[in-house]
């Protein structure tokens, strides 16, 4: 069971946010350092559970990668830590489920985006290095092995993050997304579970965006009534934009909306939309305005400018949002009073926000 740290209400394991106040639920378990653990619902069928890649540990994949151990799993993949036989470099290898491997549309998009993988190389992106397929049909993706703390776990652990920290993490995430957007790649599944907070050798921290090209295209639109009626949830919808929920064509502005939701949650520990059920929370994004930041946590006395920036980024109409992630991040940093100079960020509101 999961529970809300604010009101104590308990929920089934698959629930992720309190429907009463939008607070992220906790389980009391935090994964160790390493490549991210997906928290997508475990909907694997028996065929998937019996596939050979559940037993890859200790084996050599295609004569090139020694599989050390499994370090994560989700509804559509297993993730392994591996050593390159020739270079001894460490990599994260994500092995796709049989269901995803058989999805022609998903695989076509994955192959296209894998071909751009090297061009997507950026300090704030865990990019695809190689897409491989074994003779028996096992599809896998090779990526850099990234060590750190999942952003969702950090927010759970601390309750919320300081404004200056949110501004710098937001800038990192925006920088990584911008590179992808310039290559016509939209993440589509941006959420705190897909961001890793890492540490440089000098002790400074930076964010890395994970799982580019691995999320299936999400379609809700006409299915939203079915979702409401049946209670079925496709994937993890809490950070989807309104146009994504409607099944509309997506562009970089959908990632901007998701990033704004993440920033809001980092600052408050809550989401700006409430409802009695997860479906009601989704519908609220289609019909309602977000709860203003300073009304959600009035005791924190956030600058009014920060609230204005988030409201713009959370506009239901994509045309009313910031049009690039860098534009959003720069506006947020200015509103937060964080200036960037010489590669480091300095908080002008540090005393107010405990920095």
User: Strand 205-209 to strand 195-199: parallel, antiparallel, or no bridges (unpaired)?
Assistant: antiparallel
Active-site option among 153, 172, 189, 211: 189
In three-state form (DSSP H/G/I as H, E/B as E, the rest C), the secondary structure along 271-314 is CCCCCCCHHHHHHHHHHCCCCCHHHHCHHHCCCHHHHHHHHHHC
Per-residue burial over 20-32, b if 16 or more Cβ lie within 10 Å, else e, is ebbbbbeeeeeee
DSSP for 214-281? -SPPP--GGGHHHHHHH----S-GGG--HHHHTT----HHHHHHHHHHHHHHHHHSB-S---SSHHHH
Burial class of residue 47 (count of CB atoms within 10 Å of its CB; 0-12, 13-18, 19+):
exposed
Distance CA 91, CA 113 (A): 19
Residue 157, classed as helix, strand or coil, is: helix
Least Cα distance to 196 among 124, 92, 117 occurs for 124
- Is 172 catalytic? The answer is no
Q: Which residues pair with 84 in a beta bridge?
A: 65
Residue 179 near residue 65 (C-beta atoms within 8 A): no
Phi and psi, residue 116, nearest 5°: -95, 5
Least Cα distance to 120 among 158, 161, 172, 176 occurs for 176
Residue 78, classed as helix, strand or coil, is: strand
Active site residues: 189
């Amino acid at each position: 069971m999961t529970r809300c740290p604010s009101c104590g209400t308990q929920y089934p394991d698959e629930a992720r946010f309190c429907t009463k106040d939008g607070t992220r639920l906790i389980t009391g378990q935090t994964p160790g350092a390493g490549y991210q653990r997906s928290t997508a619902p475990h909907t694997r069928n028996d065929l998937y559970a019996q596939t050979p890649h559940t037993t890859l540990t200790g084996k050599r994949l295609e004569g090139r990668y020694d599989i050390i151990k499994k370090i994560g799993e989700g509804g559509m993949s297993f993730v392994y830590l591996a050593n390159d036989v020739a270079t001894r470099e460490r990599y994260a290898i994500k092995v796709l489920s049989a269901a995803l491997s058989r999805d022609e549309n998903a695989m076509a998009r994955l192959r296209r985006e894998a071909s751009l993988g090297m061009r997507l190389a950026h300090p704030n992106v865990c990019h695809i290095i190689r897409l491989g397929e074994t003779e028996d049909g096992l599809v896998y993706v090779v990526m850099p092995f990234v060590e750190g703390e999942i952003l969702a776990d950090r927010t759970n652990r601390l309750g919320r993050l300081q404004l200056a920290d949110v501004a710098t993490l937001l800038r990192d995430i925006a920088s990584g997304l911008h590179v992808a957007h310039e290559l016509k790649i939209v993440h589509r599944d941006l959420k705190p579970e897909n961001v890793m907070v890492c540490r440089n050798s000098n002790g400074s921290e930076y964010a890395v965006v994970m799982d580019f090209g691995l999320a299936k295209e999400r379609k809700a639109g006409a299915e939203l009534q079915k979702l409401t009626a049946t209670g079925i949830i496709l994937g993890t919808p809490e950070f989807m934009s309104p146009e994504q929920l409607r099944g509309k064509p997506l562009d970089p502005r959908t990632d901007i909306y998701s990033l704004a939701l993440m920033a809001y949650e980092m600052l408050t520990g809550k989401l700006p939309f409430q409802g009695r059920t997860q479906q009601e929370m989704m519908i609220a994004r289609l019909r309602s305005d977000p709860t203003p930041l300073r009304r959600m946590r009035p005791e924190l006395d956030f600058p009014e400018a920060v609230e204005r920036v988030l409201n713009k980024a959370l506009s239901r109409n994509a045309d009313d949002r910031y049009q690039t992630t860098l534009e959003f991040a720069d506006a947020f940093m200015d509103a937060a009073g964080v200036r960037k100079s010489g590669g480091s960020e300095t908080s002008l509101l540090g005393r107010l926000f405990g920095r």
